[in-house]
């Protein structure tokens, strides 16, 4: 079999279609609260990070505009084992922040392949997570997202998810949904 | 002579001509019935009350502004809030800490809209008045330095020393915790804190007891809630009653040092109950803690051996040091310094400030602390624990916000406001304390004595009593006399019963 060329042409296009389908399916599992199935899509070395954003000068925006993953305070900066704890909490039935359950839609758009180093692919996208709760409580979490996905014998898995939420002060009262 | 830009709010409201009819229609003290444990919902919902709080409480209370390690170097600044006023925590070129009102003296523009940074000069974007942090250029850091067209506009005669950024007249650095007070006549910070300082010590000192040897992690969690700020203060002040229900889900999962299935604060399974001597502490001047300094439990047992090694050693060193000083080992909180700075001094170790926005909106800020000299793996373990525990993403705090917001929403209605909240837990069961002007609850979980004292002090401030009156009222603690009377009466009754028994 010929070596595939993911830098351009049909191979790149098919790869993007395949991964898009995977990520939309993954988003759907979250919206339908099928968390156990969703956890199966996360690699064992999965890492989830959402740094804080800060108001800094134009010249510093790239270097100091967000807190550092791995050493500073973030909204999230955690391994799969912590994500699993969050899923357990949601399932208790007494996690009041999501009881009664919210209505959530994950929109993933502007999806682009950034880098292919098979079996891993790095992707760039924009996210919009909409939450409506109880009656008029409505939150929008919007920003940039970087994913690393890995092709395995069992299909695609997510290895890394890094999100830049476009808020310095969180305008929602909490982050009890997965972004 | 006091500079004209020294902020002072001793007389915060414009004076009103005396008339036959009283001008003030609402008295906060009428809404708080401490004796019967009943507090009006208006305290939390009324715009008029909120306005009184902003005028009479926040500009006169000691407020937490930030941590000194956030402004470690000359020129460093950190943007903060004192009530609804934006302020800059700054360090001048000589290393002194100042708190300045972040509003240009010309047209009020926020001179600095960055969250943090380093500069020796704040230049207003509007008309470019600039303020210097360099004491060699101006009389006092924060003073007006540059004014465009000085000659043409002001004939060179603008009185620059009188038009500097408004400087907070009282700033106190307690072991790295920076507090400020707008009222130059306010009581000194150490008097204001009183014996509550033991909790501040445990917050600011390293885990091995080294004084003030802590720092904050870079990054302050900031989020908005649709709730009155006092719900937040009260929650940490001594409301241990909410844990079992509110935090049932996180406790079922277990996110603490002991790992999955173990308790979230890290107490061992045989610790933490009333039987171990845990009672709450309530101060006459409004501060409160969920525990007492005699309530001594060692640091948690961790899954990781290297964590146990660090904390076992820290506990030993601390015990030796404090024993030598004759100091108690307890007092980790959670606790609230009146009115809006809450913290926990153990697991987690974190500071929270509830910045008021309106009667029904609050911006909550959270800082996390670690020992300055802790090894990297300890800091990293704590950082992970703090993030999964607290803040809007934290598995514990998420559920608090749900309660505060919907309690607020369900209390707004006209009918709802006719019915007060109940604060009767443990009325008449308070216990004596070894601490100055303080009493304890008689139970670890129930007991609302802390909240009753908080709202009593709150009302005294909100009704704008003078500093003389405020000081006088808190000079003694009438709850102590009540406990003594109660105990004497009980002893007398027991003696009488004994006597009649022996006569028979």
Is the pLDDT assigned to residue B103 strictly greater than 70? yes
Give the gap in angstroms from C-alpha A4 to the nearest C-alpha of chain B: 41
Same-domain check for residues B153 and B224: no
Closest chain A residue to B362, measured at CA: A173
A127-158 per-position pLDDT tens digit: 999 999 999 999 999 999 999 999 999 999 99
Is the pLDDT assigned to residue B18 strictly greater than 60? no
Strands B349-358 and B177-181: unpaired
Is B262 a domain residue? yes
Report the CATH number at residue B342. Answer: 3.90.380.10
Verify whether the Cβ–Cβ distance B384 to A82 is below 8 Å. yes
What pLDDT score was predicted for residue B15?
46
What pLDDT score was predicted for residue B12?
45
B487-496 per-position pLDDT tens digit: 999 999 999 9
Mean pLDDT for the stretch of residues A32-50: 98
Is the pLDDT assigned to residue B10 strictly greater than 70? no
- Beta-ladder partners of B232: none
Same-domain check for residues B198 and B160: no
d(CA A12, CA A113): 8
The total number of structural domains in chain B stands at 2
Mean pLDDT for the stretch of residues B324-344: 96
Better pLDDT: B108 or B501: B108
Give the number of C-alpha atoms closer than 13 A to the C-alpha of residue A35, restricted to the C-beta side.
14
Same-domain check for residues B167 and B214: no
Closest chain A residue to B363, measured at CA: A169
- Chain B residues in contact with A95 by the CB 8 A cut-off are 249-250, 398-399
List phi, psi (to 5°) of B52. Answer: -65, -40
d(CA B34, CA B169): 34
**Site of tokens 């790295």:** B176
Mean pLDDT for the stretch of residues B157-175: 97
- Chain A residues in contact with B219 by the CB 8 A cut-off are 51-52, 67, 72-74
Same-domain check for residues B245 and B171: no
What pLDDT score was predicted for residue B261?
75
Same-domain check for residues B429 and B308: yes
Strand B421-422: give its sheet, edge to edge.
Answer: B32-33, B38-39, B421-422
B426-470 per-position pLDDT tens digit: 999 999 999 999 999 999 898 999 999 999 999 999 999 999 999
d(CA A148, CA B452): 53
What pLDDT score was predicted for residue B274?
56
Same-domain check for residues B177 and B301: no
Is B31 a domain residue? no
* Residue B2 pLDDT grade (very low, low, confident, very high; cuts 50, 70, 90): very low
Q: Are B60 and B13 in contact (CB under 8 A)?
A: no
Q: Is residue A98 helix, strand or coil?
A: helix
d(CA A144, CA A149): 16
What pLDDT score was predicted for residue B262?
79
Sequence-distant (≥ 6) Cβ neighbours of residue B147 within 8 angstroms: B129, B130, B153, B154, B158, B160
Percent of chain B with pLDDT over 70: 93
What pLDDT score was predicted for residue B9?
46
Give the gap in angstroms from C-alpha B388 to the nearest C-alpha of chain A: 8
CB atoms within 10 A of CB B341: 25
Q: Is residue B242 helix, strand or coil?
A: helix
* Residue B357 pLDDT grade (very low, low, confident, very high; cuts 50, 70, 90): very high
Is B260 a domain residue? yes
What pLDDT score was predicted for residue B100?
98
Q: Does B223 touch chain A (CB under 8 A)?
A: yes
d(CA A66, CA B115): 11
* Residue B501 pLDDT grade (very low, low, confident, very high; cuts 50, 70, 90): confident
Among the residue ranges A52-56, A109-113, B16-20, B217-221, the one predicted with the least confidence is B16-20
Percent of chain B with pLDDT over 90: 87
Boundary (domain end) residue, out of B165, B185, B205:
B185
Dump the DSSP string for B37-49: TEE-THHHH-HHH
Same-domain check for residues B302 and B414: yes
Q: Does B361 touch chain A (CB under 8 A)?
A: no
Dump the DSSP string for A109-136: EEEEEEEEETTEEEEEEEEEEEEEETTT
- What does pLDDT average to over chain B? 93
Is the pLDDT assigned to residue B498 strictly greater than 60? yes
CB atoms within 10 A of CB B402: 22
Task: Pick from A49, A96, A133 the residue to mutate for testing the B interface (most B CBs within 10 Å).
Answer: A96
Is B7 a domain residue? no
For chain A, the domains span 9-165
- Chain B residues in contact with A171 by the CB 8 A cut-off are 223-224
B467: containing domain:
194-473
CB atoms within 10 A of CB B356: 22
d(CA B212, CA B313): 18
**Site of tokens 């950082």:** B383
Q: Which fold has domain A9-165?
A: Nuclear Transport Factor 2; Chain: A, (3.10.450)
Sequence-distant (≥ 6) Cβ neighbours of residue B75 within 8 angstroms: B91, B92, B93, B118, B119, B120, B133
Task: Pick from A55, A56, A60, A73 the residue to mutate for testing the B interface (most B CBs within 10 Å).
Answer: A73
Q: Is residue B104 helix, strand or coil?
A: coil
Q: Could you report the predicted ipTM of this complex, rounded to two decimals?
A: 0.97
DSSP letter at B334? -
Q: Are B240 and B290 in contact (CB under 8 A)?
A: yes
Report the CATH number at residue B171. Answer: 2.102.10.10
DSSP letter at B228? -
- Beta-ladder partners of B118: B76
Is the pLDDT assigned to residue B272 strictly greater than 80? no
**Site of tokens 């339908």:** A32
Mean pLDDT for the stretch of residues B296-306: 92
Sequence-distant (≥ 6) Cβ neighbours of residue B184 within 8 angstroms: B2, B6, B8, B10, B169, B170
Q: Are B415 and B201 in contact (CB under 8 A)?
A: no
What pLDDT score was predicted for residue B277?
81
Mean pLDDT for the stretch of residues B374-378: 98
* Residue B259 pLDDT grade (very low, low, confident, very high; cuts 50, 70, 90): confident
Same-domain check for residues B127 and B199: no
Same-domain check for residues B378 and B400: yes
CB atoms within 10 A of CB B198: 21
Same-domain check for residues B255 and B272: yes
What pLDDT score was predicted for residue B500?
84
* Residue B1 pLDDT grade (very low, low, confident, very high; cuts 50, 70, 90): very low
What pLDDT score was predicted for residue B139?
93
Across the interface, of A77, A92, A94, the residue whose CB is closest to B387 is: A77
Is the pLDDT assigned to residue B20 strictly greater than 90? no
Q: Are B169 and B185 in contact (CB under 8 A)?
A: no
Strand B130-132: give its sheet, edge to edge.
Answer: B121-123, B130-132, B144-146
Q: Are A167 and A128 in contact (CB under 8 A)?
A: no
Q: Is residue B7 helix, strand or coil?
A: coil
B112-127 per-position pLDDT tens digit: 999 999 999 999 999 9
- Beta-ladder partners of B6: B167
Same-domain check for residues B325 and B443: yes
Q: What is the CA radius of gyration of chain A?
A: 17
Same-domain check for residues B252 and B155: no
What pLDDT score was predicted for residue B355?
98
What pLDDT score was predicted for residue B4?
54
End-to-end CA distance of chain B: 79
Q: Are B234 and B452 in contact (CB under 8 A)?
A: no
What are the start-end ranges of the E strands in B93-176? 97-101, 116-118, 121-123, 130-132, 144-146, 170-174
Is B346 a domain residue? yes
| Nearest alpha-carbon partner for B126 in B155, B145, B104, B154 | B104
What pLDDT score was predicted for residue A34?
98
Query: B414: burial class by Cβ within 10 Å (0-12, 13-18, 19+)?
Result: exposed
Q: Is residue A172 helix, strand or coil?
A: coil
Sequence-distant (≥ 6) Cβ neighbours of residue B355 within 8 angstroms: B81, B83, B84, B229, B340, B362, B363, B364, B365
Is the pLDDT assigned to residue A1 strictly greater than 60? no
């Amino acid at each position: 079999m010929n070596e595939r060329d993911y830098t351009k042409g049909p191979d790149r296009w098919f790869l993007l279609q395949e991964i898009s389908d995977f990520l939309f399916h993954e988003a759907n599992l979250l919206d339908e609260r099928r968390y156990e199935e969703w956890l199966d899509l996360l690699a064992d070395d999965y890492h989830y990070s959402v740094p804080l954003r800060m108001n800094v000068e134009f010249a510093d925006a790239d270097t100091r505009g967000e807190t550092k993953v791995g050493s500073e305070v973030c909204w999230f900066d955690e391994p799969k084992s912590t994500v699993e704890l969050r899923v357990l909490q949601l399932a208790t039935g007494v996690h009041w922040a999501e009881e009664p359950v919210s209505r959530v839609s994950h929109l993933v758009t502007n999806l682009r392949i950034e880098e292919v180093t098979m079996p891993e692919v790095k992707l760039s996208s924009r996210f919009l997570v909409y939450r409506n709760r109880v009656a008029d409580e409505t939150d929008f979490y919007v920003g940039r997202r970087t994913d690393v996905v890995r092709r395995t014998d069992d299909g695609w898995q997510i290895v890394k998810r890094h999100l830049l939420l476009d808020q310095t002060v969180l305008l929602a009262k909490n982050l009890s949904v997965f972004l | 002579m006091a500079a004209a830009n020294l902020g002072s709010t001793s007389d915060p409201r414009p004076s009103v001509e005396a008339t036959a009819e009283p001008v003030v229609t609402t008295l906060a003290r009428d809404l708080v019935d401490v004796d019967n444990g009943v507090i009006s919902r208006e305290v939390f919902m009324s715009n008029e009350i909120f306005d009184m709080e902003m005028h009479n409480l926040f500009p006169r209370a000691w407020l937490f502004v930030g941590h000194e390690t956030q402004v470690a170097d000359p020129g460093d600044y950190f943007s903060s809030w004192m009530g609804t006023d934006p302020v800059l925590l700054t360090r001048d070129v000589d290393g002194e800490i100042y708190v300045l009102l972040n509003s240009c003296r010309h047209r009020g523009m926020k001179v600095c809209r960055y969250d943090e940074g380093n500069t020796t000069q704040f230049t207003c974007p509007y008309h470019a008045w600039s303020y210097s942090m360099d004491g060699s250029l101006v009389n006092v850091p924060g003073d007006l330095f540059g004014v465009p067209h000085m000659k043409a506009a002001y004939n060179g005669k603008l009185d620059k020393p009188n038009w500097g950024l408004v400087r907070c007249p009282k700033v106190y650095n307690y072991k790295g915790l920076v507090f400020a007070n707008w009222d130059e006549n306010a009581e000194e910070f150490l008097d204001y804190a009183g014996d509550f300082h033991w909790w501040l010590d445990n917050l600011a000192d390293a885990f091995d007891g080294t004084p003030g040897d802590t720092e904050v992690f870079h990054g302050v969690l900031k989020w908005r809630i649709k709730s009155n700020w006092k719900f937040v203060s009260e929650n940490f002040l001594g409301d241990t009653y909410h844990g079992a229900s509110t935090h049932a889900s996180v406790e079922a999962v277990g996110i603490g040092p002991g790992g999955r299935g173990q308790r979230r604060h890290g107490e061992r399974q045989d610790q933490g109950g009333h039987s171990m001597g845990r009672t709450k502490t309530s101060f006459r001047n409004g501060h409160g803690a969920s525990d007492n300094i005699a309530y001594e439990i060692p640091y948690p047992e961790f899954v990781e051996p290297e964590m146990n090694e660090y904390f076992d050693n820290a506990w030993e060193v601390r015990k030796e040091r404090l024993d030598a000083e004759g100091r108690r080992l307890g007092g980790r909180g959670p606790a609230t310094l009146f009115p809006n700075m809450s913290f926990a001094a153990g697991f987690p170790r974190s500071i929270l400030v509830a910045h008021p926005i309106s009667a029904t909106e609050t911006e909550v800020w959270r800082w996390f602390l670690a020992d300055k000299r802790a090894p990297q793996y300890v800091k990293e373990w704590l950082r992970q624990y703090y993030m999964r525990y607290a803040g809007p993403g934290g598995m514990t705090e998420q559920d608090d916000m749900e309660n505060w917001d919907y309690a607020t929403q369900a209390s707004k209605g006209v009918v709802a406001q006719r019915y007060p909240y109940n604060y009767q837990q443990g009325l008449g069961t308070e216990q004596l304390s070894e601490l100055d002007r303080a009493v304890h609850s008689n139970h670890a979980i129930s007991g609302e004595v802390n909240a009753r004292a908080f709202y009593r002090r709150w009302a005294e401030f909100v009704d704008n009593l003078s500093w003389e009156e405020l000081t006088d009222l808190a000079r003694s603690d009438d709850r102590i006399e009540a406990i003594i009377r109660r105990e004497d009466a009980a002893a007398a009754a027991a003696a009488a019963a004994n006597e009649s028994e022996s006569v028979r």
